[in-house]
Amino acid sequence: MASLGREHQRLVQVVEKAAMLHKYDDELAEVRELVGVDDPEMAAEAQAELGRLTPAIAKLEEELKPLLLPHDPLDDRNAIVEIRAGTGGDEAALFAGELFRMYTRYMERKGWKIELMSLSDAQLGGVKEAIFKIEGAGAFGEMRGESGVHRVQRVPATEAQGRIHTSAATVAVLPEAEEIDLKIEDKDLRIDVFRSSGPGGQSVNTTDSAVRITHIPSGLVVSQQDQKSQLQNKLKGMQVLRARLLDMKVAAQEAERSRLRKSQVSTGDRSAKIRTYNFPQNRVTDHRINYTSHDLAAVLNGDLVKLIEAFKLATVEEQLGGGE
């Protein structure tokens, strides 16, 4: 029912825009007949209507194009986002923390809900790893293009010589998995419990509430210790594990479908550098589509609309041009 509801919501947009397009086309045909009439006043009104309808029709056609492309049902799902500090030590962890804040602010702007699942702090206020769920209509479709290596170029606060350093953090965006997507057998899981560590409430360091789940066939390991009880940690851990397994399954299917593809747009290869945040030049560059913004501060403050829309538009144009 949930899947059908999401599909219905998407198709309603197509029907409404198509109906509006037909209406405008009919009006345009009538207006064109009136442009050449002998009555100057009526002809002027018709000319004005022509000037209004022509761009309105072009705009509707552009809006309809992406809606008519084959739709990936996973795009309607909630998203699970994993951010990890990469090469660069403390500076990479600081940047990972900034990415976490950037996405948090973007979600606040959209009115989407964020549920923190796991957070591992680093020294100097950075983040080693952050895992969180985004709840919102079409969250995965909106965020899937953020997967990859995000690179930062700047002078670190720890650098006495004023030299520019390059560091990186990785972002993985996974579709939230539902129970029906895949079956996980109990016999395929090894669940270990251990004592939580790090800052926390009274339950931390007093009970074996932390959980490590190993999926034996794939070798995937998920550790969860942010919740107060062992059961809560197990439930959160299974959510992450399910999302990672679904992502592996989808990635394998996409790799097979795009074996002959030459374009790097929308491949979602997480080993690829997708974006550079250059502080000295106040710019952010998306390398997949050669798009640059010269307002780095706004981007890091959650103003991601132009970057995300530019990537989505490039993906649509590639698909319309004969891609997948």
**Same domain for 272 and 203:** no
pLDDT at 315 over 50: yes
**Could you count the other beta carbons within 10 Å of the beta carbon of residue 297?**
9
pLDDT (tens digit per residue) in 26-56: 999 888 888 878 888 888 888 888 889 999 9
Mean per-residue pLDDT, 96-106: 96
Distance, in Å, from the CA atom of 56 to the CA atom of 38, rounded to the nearest integer, reads 27
Question: Of the candidates 252, 270, 302, which is a domain's last residue?
Answer: 252
Q: Give the CA distances from residue 17 to residues 31, 87, 158, in Å, rounded to whole numbers and listed in that order.
A: 21, 47, 54
Distance, in Å, from the CA atom of 241 to the CA atom of 220, rounded to the nearest integer, reads 8
CB 228 within 8 A of CB 209: yes
**Same domain for 291 and 162:** yes
State how many domains the chain has. 3
Task: Read off the pLDDT band of 154 (50, 70, 90).
Answer: very high
**Same domain for 271 and 141:** yes
Q: β-strands 210-215, 291-293: how paired?
A: unpaired
Q: Give the CA distances from residue 173 to residues 10, 144, 246, 253, in Å, rounded to whole numbers and listed in that order.
A: 22, 6, 12, 17
CB 280 within 8 A of CB 296: no
Question: Of the candidates 200, 220, 252, which is a domain's last residue?
Answer: 252
CB 177 within 8 A of CB 79: no
**Same domain for 102 and 17:** no
Give the residue ranges of DSSP H helices in the chain: 2-35, 40-68, 89-110, 139-143, 230-257, 296-300, 305-320
Which residue range forms the structural domain that includes residue 235?
186-252
Distance, in Å, from the CA atom of 225 to the CA atom of 241, rounded to the nearest integer, reads 14
**Same domain for 167 and 285:** yes
Is 163 within a domain? Answer: yes
**What integer pLDDT is reported at residue 239 of this predicted model?**
87
**Same domain for 272 and 245:** no
**Same domain for 218 and 90:** no
Question: Of the candidates 25, 48, 68, which is a domain's last residue?
Answer: 68
Highest mean pLDDT among 268-272, 294-298, 317-321: 294-298
Which CATH number is 190's domain given? Answer: 3.30.160.20
**What integer pLDDT is reported at residue 283 of this predicted model?**
95
Which CATH number is 292's domain given? Answer: 3.30.70.1660
**Same domain for 31 and 134:** no
Is 181 within a domain? Answer: no
Question: The whole model's pTM is what?
Answer: 0.70
pLDDT at 214 over 80: yes
Mean per-residue pLDDT, 218-230: 86
**Same domain for 262 and 243:** no
CB 107 within 8 A of CB 81: no
**What integer pLDDT is reported at residue 258 of this predicted model?**
52
Distance, in Å, from the CA atom of 154 to the CA atom of 278, rounded to the nearest integer, reads 6
pLDDT (tens digit per residue) in 257-286: 454 333 333 333 445 789 999 999 999 999
**Same domain for 165 and 84:** yes
**Could you count the other beta carbons within 10 Å of the beta carbon of residue 319?**
16
Percent of the chain exceeding pLDDT 90 equals 37
Distance, in Å, from the CA atom of 69 to the CA atom of 61, rounded to the nearest integer, reads 13
**What integer pLDDT is reported at residue 202 of this predicted model?**
43
Q: Report helix, strand or coil for 292.
A: strand
